[in-house]
Amino acid sequence: MKIIRGGIVYQGDEWKNDIDILLEEGKILDIVPKGKYNEGQAIDADGYFVCPGFIDIHIHGCAGRDVMDGSVDALEDIARFIAGHGTTSFLATTAASSREATRASLKAVAAIMKKQCRGAQILGVHLEGPFINPEAKGALAGQHILPASINGFTDLAGEYEGIIKRVTLAPDVEGARELTGYLVNKGVVVSMGHTAAGYDECIEGIEWGMRHATHFYNAMTPLKHREPGAVGAFMAREDTTIELIADLVHVHPAALKIAVGVKGCSRVALITDSMAATGMDDGEYFLGLQEVVVNQGVARLKDSGNLAGSTLTLDKALRNMVSIGFQVNDVVKMLTEVPACITGVDDHKGRIEKGYDADLVILDKNLYVNMVFIKGNWYGINI
């Protein structure tokens, strides 16, 4: 048994002082007052914040590797790097590409999900496209955008359909309604994104089952006073969730505050949308098939200058949000409990509760990662 001793523990939307967390066989065995149990390996967390492991539901890559590399080695490198920044589980996110490249990526994810991997746990796959509107493709490769159809999806997914947990889909493409219904019936999260749809079309999409918004504000129609667009549709509907890239580049601090103010922190997940350059020097990289130039940490397509993912980590997102005025406990909720709920793993991840997975992040007073535990295994820092 391990004991995380004497930390300031995030539990039930608040911080509790002088708490011990007991870990055994990858689970949280109990949460008790400090010093109640003395048998086992004690890890001193006195004066440190202890929160659930961060969950990134939209990440393409980091450390020079990309999900679209289609290799277990690349996925392991990604998992190890982000674990050092507090992320204990994630959805491996693909970019629109050929059927063969996408299938290779799915095969690699399926393989790594069957083995014990050192690093963050892969929960499944997020397909970002290819069933999107070319007019709002952003940094996705236009030549691989496909019409939305059930047959097109099942052909792309093949034998790996079961590991696909989320699909980004535009409501304004032919076949979107039928594909949304199919995916929702399969328990797949359907995210609205990369869309040129107006408000009414977006409301229809929400009614079909598109209850989450991919990188809110980005690659979707903006809020205008006579045409509220996709942004207005998700702000107006309380039964939806959104995700935000809190790198202070993709979304202005004021817009971050407005979005969270309208939706509430229980309806917002923070994501990285990070690409291979994360953790690397400025230079030239790829996001899927797209050439990207990174300058001062900002990634843009080489040909068009469009933003192309980020170089963000979730611990940095936490510090960014706090720096613009958010409370730490609210930001932690958006990094843990909310993404767990969106992906349907909230019965065992995203909270510090008895019986939950022992995924924990220990932060110092400046909110830098000090220690990480994934299913009870200690990973330290700088993994």
Look up residue 137 and give its two tokens: 């493709």
Longest dimension (CA), the chain: 65
Per-residue pLDDT reduced to its tens digit, 215-266: 999 999 999 999 999 999 999 999 999 999 999 999 999 999 999 999 999 9
C-alpha closest to that of 154 among 118, 103, 195? 103
Q: What is the pLDDT of residue 245?
A: 98
- The dihedral built from the CA positions of residue 351, 357, 318 and 234, taken in this order, carries a sign that is negative
DSSP for 116-132 reads: --SSSEEEEEEEE-SSS
Q: Name the residue with tokens 């299938």.
A: 103
Given a cut of 70, the residues of the chain with pLDDT beneath it are 380-383
Residue 342 and residue 60 in contact, taking contact as beta carbons nearer than 8 Å? no
Q: Which CATH class is domain 53-343?
A: alpha beta
Distance CA 316, CA 323 (A): 10
CB 268 within 8 A of CB 260: yes
Instruction: Mention the CATH class of domain 2-50+354-378.
Output: mainly beta
How many Å apart are CA 45 and CA 69, to the nearest integer?
Answer: 38
Is 273 labeled as catalytic in the residue annotation? Answer: yes
Domain ranges, ordered by start, for the chain: 2-50+354-378, 53-343
- 10 Å Cβ neighbour count for 190? 25
Name which of 261, 238, 266, 276 is nearest 351 in CA terms. 266
pLDDT at 382: 38
Catalytic one among 247, 273, 315, 359? 273
Q: What is the pLDDT of residues 63-119, one digit of tens each?
A: 999 999 999 999 999 999 999 999 999 999 999 999 999 999 999 999 999 987 789
Of 77, 55, 3, the C-alpha closest to 243 is 55
Residue-level pLDDT at 380 = 64
Q: What is the pLDDT of residue 39?
A: 85
Specify the pLDDT at position 381. 55
| CA dihedral (135, 136, 140, 145) positive or negative | negative
User: Which region holds residue 187: left if phi is over 0, alpha if psi is between -120 and 50, else beta?
Assistant: left
The DSSP string of 146-215 is ----HHHHHHHHGGGGGGEEEEEE-TTSTTHHHHHHHHHHTTPEEEE-S----HHHHHHHHHHT--EETT
Contacts of residues 9-14 at CB distance under 8 Å and 24 or more positions apart, as own/partner, are 9/50, 9/51, 9/352, 10/49, 10/50, 10/51, 10/52, 10/329, 10/332, 10/352, 11/351, 11/352, 11/353, 13/329, 13/333, 14/329
Would you tell me how many other CB atoms lie within 10 Å of the CB of residue 245? 24
Distance CA 366, CA 99 (A): 45
User: Backbone phi, then psi, for 2, in 5-degree steps?
Assistant: -105, 150
Measured between alpha carbons, how far is 10 from 113 in angstroms, rounded to an integer?
29
Length of the chain, in residues: 383
